[in-house]
Structure 1
């Protein structure tokens, strides 16, 4: 009887909790709908305004219109974000806006890749040609923050603050020891000397080849990092290198001593300077407009452009997978459908494929590649690479007429691999679970994860991986107009930095996203056009409801693991991947 009441009580509690969750979601949706009313209303920009450029928010490929971003909903990130393209459009508009007198750049720890940060830097440099000033201030500058702030006319640091300037590093977590303790064997099939995506699961340190490529691209990133700061601050690259190498910036006064900042000031002093620059009296309140609101004005203003001639920008952002994907995942169905739509629309004269992806499913990559090839036959297709366009991310774009990269774009990684986990020891030895059964042929249970692969099975899988790799380098050779032998020589899974990719022919030139759009217009022989963006953004409320379970799991996993969530995610991703992968060597984190 006790057990009966226990189960009844548990059921009642479960029902109550479920009702509570659905009630919260219902309220959230209602609030979201209410908050979205008037979302398309523009913000009035008063005279003598300061454009408040907050770059600590997530800087994404596209601006997500999320009415739930300010609500405390489990599974919703609850953070502001803005697309880097909208930042650039807003800065270009502000350059000519008489109501905008200057920019207040506030950044401590930007949530963006170095390639996108470089595009924003270039837009800020262009803004300065208007003779309007940029003032940067922060209590703490991380290296990424300083990279952005270094373009400002004046950089100020809080007298008790900190400026991080120590050089770049990249670290990889290796899981072999943990897998051994758990009794899990990662069975690896790969092609490519540098295809080190599998290394963390079969070794405890970097291979020599992997160390070689990581050293090359980290040094490449650092060279661009120092070079850009050197031009902005008029400090030689050698001096900057020495400042970082010797860790000379340990206190705020050191940053001022080595001319990394122009002064040590408190916020009230910054506000006074901004008032002076904007023509605001000292006793009046400063008039500001956020970059998010100002960008919204620019976007709404562009909706008045009804030009029939169009260029389609197709965003391919995130891991590549089969199916529909999401705003942060490249679903082969969703992206290929968007490319097909742009191809068959006669009013669209050119396509720009914007890629920011470490790769993923080789099959899904090939599906998207096919649509690019078909589109190229009827209209120009230009690829623009963001922070990373590697492996499958490179695959989907290799057929484009031209490929644009930033100097610090990470690309290449032309290689293929497969991981088949073997849980036999974990299940048999640790848990006492055994398996037995029958089959109609020796390969009926190929890909089983409860026993080791046989030699025959390994050969079959290796042949499959070899076939995908051969198709991959063939696609690249055809797209880049090179021989297969040449592509094979620079492939092998090796990662390249943007400048090197141009030198070896994997890309055509370094240039911004806007440069890619201009090149598309030139190739299509059009001068007057408007931009249309694909695929359509997935409604945030719909996405929350459809993926609420996964989002809640992710939320609590992040709370539990904290800074170690990335390691947990890498293990989970590797074990869960099915099929042959064309993916980056590992999750690159450069500090």
Structure 2
């Protein structure tokens, strides 16, 4: 037993040392990286090549040598005629937005849009593959404003939704001149919600005072620790209603065909029902739409990637290692507790 006790003590000291080192590395990375902006790079790939590689791979596996030879000959002939005719195909610029609660992807989206607008013409098209369940009002307001730049430039914007575009996500989607949805994608949720716990009674029970000092009658309407008043609740609700009205007006501006008061109830609909409500214009997956467009246009996928500094990479690796370590030990503690 004495051996196991000494071993446990040694293990605890080792774990503590490892955790301390990771914390120091994270702190150093944060301090050294503070105030510095990482440079990024725009990555561009031609989706036509991707689709052609899929097609060619299948042809080489399925067709006989004679059939393949004939197909290659016909393709070369068609390419030669197309080049001779100097046919100019329209360009389709494909962007992706995978939204979290803070709409963090906006940081990259704005650079991608700036790049597109430096070349795109009204004969081209921007396709946004959008996935988001919504989040903060101001964050998604900025993301929507970035998309509005495309409309203002006169470049057609198509929004494709395969899984979900709700609340702030639909706020972005409605800017598209055409909204395409998968049959079972989730859409709508045109509403506003806010919630917070209140611990005032718990603090009062333990004779703990919490003071909230403000300058301005409505500087703080509801608080977590202070005593909330009915007047404060009414003001908070009033603010929510104002935000909701702005949301409704924004959607109605870009989708005038909607019966806005009927659909702005916070409800969500699946793609097939959303089509009936005119929340979307067509039922189709983004893969199907882009594969069709690849037949008549040049498709370019854009992704702006931030370059992380050495300190940021070390900090990220340390953070991931620390999270994994914490999860592992919490899991073991739970097993010991319950088993």
Range class of TM-score, shorter chain: 0.5 to 0.7
* Displacement of 1:543: 6.1
1:446-495 per-position Cα deviation (integer Å, ceiling 9, x unaligned): 34211242222222222221122112222222222225xx1221231111
* Displacement of 1:92: 6.5
Among 522, 529, 548, which residue is 2:298 paired with? 529
Among 109, 115, 130, which residue is 1:341 paired with? 115
- Aligned-partner Cα distance in 1 for 2:202–2:322: 25
Alignment of 1:109-258 (within 5 A): none
Distance 1:487 1:321, change over 3 A: same
* Displacement of 1:505: 0.2
Distance 1:94 1:443, change over 3 A: closer
- State the secondary structure of the residue aligned to 1:418: coil
- Aligned-partner Cα distance in 1 for 2:108–2:191: 25
- State the secondary structure of the residue aligned to 1:417: coil
* Partner residue in 1 for 2:280: 507
Alignment of 1:64-463 (within 5 A): 93-97=53-57, 101=61, 310-321=91-102, 325=104, 330=105, 332-346=106-120, 349-377=124-152, 378-429=154-205, 433-436=208-211, 438-463=213-238
Matched, 1:465 2:234: no
* Displacement of 1:444: 4.0
Flag the structure with larger Rg: 2
- State the secondary structure of the residue aligned to 1:400: coil
Asked whether the 8 Å contact 2:181–2:284 carries over to 1, the reply is yes
Q: Which runs of 5+ in 1 are unaligned?
A: 1-9, 24-85, 102-129, 133-306, 563-591
* Displacement of 1:353: 1.1
The structure where helix makes up a greater share of residues is 2
Distance 1:95 1:375, change over 3 A: closer
Asked whether the 8 Å contact 2:22–2:322 carries over to 1, the reply is no
* Displacement of 1:19: 3.9
* Displacement of 1:501: 0.8
Distance 1:454 1:336, change over 3 A: farther
* Displacement of 1:390: 1.1
Asked whether the 8 Å contact 2:134–2:165 carries over to 1, the reply is yes
Q: Which runs of 5+ in 2 are unaligned?
A: 1-11, 26-46, 65-87, 332-339
- Aligned-partner Cα distance in 1 for 2:144–2:189: 16
- Aligned-partner Cα distance in 2 for 1:434–1:552: 40
Alignment of 1:478-557 (within 5 A): 478-482=253-257, 486-517=259-290, 527-536=296-305, 544-547=313-316, 551-552=320-321, 554-555=323-324
- Aligned-partner Cα distance in 2 for 1:457–1:550: 40
Distance 1:462 1:335, change over 3 A: farther
Q: TM-score, normalised by structure 2?
A: 0.66
Q: TM-score, normalised by structure 1?
A: 0.40
* Partner residue in 1 for 2:334: none
1:358-397 per-position Cα deviation (integer Å, ceiling 9, x unaligned): 1111111111212222211320100000211111111111
Distance 1:482 1:308, change over 3 A: closer
- Aligned-partner Cα distance in 2 for 1:320–1:445: 23
* Displacement of 1:339: 2.4
Distance 1:541 1:384, change over 3 A: farther
Among 236, 252, 258, which residue is 1:477 paired with? 252
- Aligned-partner Cα distance in 2 for 1:354–1:383: 6
- Aligned-partner Cα distance in 1 for 2:329–2:14: 28
Q: How many residues align?
A: 276
Name whichever of 441-450 and 545-554 sits farther off.
545-554
1:282-329 per-position Cα deviation (integer Å, ceiling 9, x unaligned): xxxxxxxxxxxxxxxxxxxxxxxxx9964222211031416xx3xxxx
